[in-house]
Amino acid sequence: MTRIAIMGAAGRMGRILIEATDAADGAELGAALVLPNDSLLGNDAGEMAGLGKKLNVSLISDLAASLNDFDVLIDFTSPAATMQNVQACKAAGKGIVIGTTGLTDEQKVELNAAAKDMKIVFAPNYSVGVNLVLNLLRMAASVMGEESDIEVIEMHHKHKVDSPSGTALRLGEVVAETMGWDLNEVANYGREGQTGARPHKEIGFQTIRGGDVVGDHTVMFATDGERVEITHKAQSRMTFAKGAVRASLWLNDQPNGLYDMQDVLGF
């Protein structure tokens, strides 16, 4: 049995992660963590998530006090908080599954260093469908990329704080890697005014924010005469939660290292 702790348990994603953990075979909720000033601190985690009091886990704010209660921490919070939690888990010999987006290049380097001494799954998206799309993009880019103008279009709810989404950036990275390009050199994150003709060696990103959209992503390969679009639309955050729990169960049996959802799924 893999004991899972959930950081940010009182948030929208945290509550769904509690539900997904409870529903998964081989998993149990070991700890549910919230901020020290959260009004729900001390409440029953299962009851908060709509599951009743069957889990017997209270919301706490001290990660250090819960280190004996879990094997893997799931963290979908903020970059600064996540990096602190990585160090705490490393010191305690715990695994961590990271769904936080917006990490800097320096923070990603720090993750690589930490993974020498701990188990980490770090992925911008835990949806099985999105990870299938990554493989489809490799095929499309290898076949059509040289002839295509490539655009990444994404839409999320109005509360999302980072842009483009971590998933959109990963989609662009996969295309760029397949093409032998450096995404930092070919990415265009917005057009305005007299921009001139579009250069061929470019990956454009278009970001839309509004309403309660969970997450829509499209990668377009446009040529003279035809267009191929590969699209994924998430209709529920439960998709991501189930994937994160699946990653936690998988990670618990792995050696130290930095993994992503492609590793978890065996792609």
Can you give the pTM of this predicted structure?
A: 0.84
Let me know if 47 is exposed, middle or buried by CB neighbors in 10 A (0-12, 13-18, 19+).
Answer: middle
- Rounded to an integer, the average pLDDT of 215-239 is 96
Looking at residue 95, its pLDDT comes to 98
Looking at residue 30, its pLDDT comes to 97
User: DSSP character for 33?
Assistant: E
Q: Residue 131 carries which side chain, given as an amino acid letter?
A: N
The answer to whether 59 touches 10, Cβ cutoff 8 Å, is yes
Q: What is the pLDDT of residues 152-199, one digit of tens each?
A: 999 999 999 999 999 999 999 999 999 999 999 999 998 999 999 999
CA distance 98 to 79: 10
Q: What is the pLDDT of residues 67-116, one digit of tens each?
A: 999 999 999 999 999 999 999 999 999 999 999 988 999 999 999 999 99
Do the two domains 2-122+237-265 and 128-234 of this chain adopt the same fold?
no
Domain residue spans of the chain: 2-122+237-265, 128-234
Looking at residue 267, its pLDDT comes to 83
CA distance 174 to 36: 39
Looking at residue 101, its pLDDT comes to 87
Distances (CA, A) of 86 to 72, 89, 93, 107, 258: 11, 5, 10, 11, 12
CA distance 39 to 87: 27
Residue 255 pLDDT grade (very low, low, confident, very high; cuts 50, 70, 90)? very high
Q: Spell out the CATH class of 2-122+237-265.
A: alpha beta
The answer to whether 8 touches 77, Cβ cutoff 8 Å, is yes
Looking at residue 102, its pLDDT comes to 87
**Active centre residues (catalytic):** 156, 160
- Look up residue 140 and give its two tokens: 């499309």
Looking at residue 134, its pLDDT comes to 95
CA distance 6 to 266: 25
Residue 52 pLDDT grade (very low, low, confident, very high; cuts 50, 70, 90)? confident
Flag the least confident range among 4-8, 29-33, 39-43. Answer: 39-43
CA distance 184 to 259: 23
Distances (CA, A) of 176 to 27, 38, 126, 207, 248: 37, 42, 21, 19, 29
CA distance 247 to 243: 6
Looking at residue 231, its pLDDT comes to 98
Looking at residue 121, its pLDDT comes to 98
- Rounded to an integer, the average pLDDT of 236-245 is 95
Work out the widest C-alpha separation in the chain, in whole angstroms.
62
Q: Spell out the CATH class of 128-234.
A: alpha beta
